[in-house]
Amino acid sequence: MLMVKRRVNEQSKKSDKNMPAKEYILILHNDDVNTFEHVIDTLIRVCRHNELQAEQCALLAHLKGKCDIMSGSFEEMENTQQSLKLEGLTVTMEEL
């Protein structure tokens, strides 16, 4: 029995490697707490946006209620989300 379980586990590991990695997006939500300056500075520092990109994201979130700010692997987006939340921003993550 042990031999069968090992083969099944090895096969499932191999098939996981062949599957494309899932991608996730971070969504910035508008709030009535943070200033534009704070949001822009945080996006520049944490997400490495340039100034124009950060300004556009802040404005879109303000006008439309939310804005996709970046995408990547689950681990990368989870870490970035936590950093943004520590700065007081409202950010959610969704699978693409």
Per domain, the residue ranges of the chain are 22-95
Identify the pLDDT of residue 55. Answer: 98
Q: Is the pLDDT of residue 43 over 90?
A: yes
- What pLDDT is recorded for position 49? 98
Q: Is 64 helix (H, G, I), strand (E, B) or coil?
A: helix
pTM (2 d.p.): 0.79
Q: What is the pLDDT of residue 21?
A: 86
pLDDT of residue 20: 74
Which pLDDT score is estimated for 69?
Answer: 98
Per-residue b or e along 6-25, where b marks 16 or more CB atoms closer than 10 Å to that residue's CB = eeeeeeeeeeeeeeeeeebe
Residue 13 has pLDDT above 90, yes or no: no
Mean pLDDT of the chain: 88
Helix, strand, coil share (%) of the chain residues, nearest 5: 60, 20, 20
CATH number (3.30.1390.10, 3.40.50.11540, 3.40.50.80, 3.40.50.150) of 22-95 reads: 3.30.1390.10
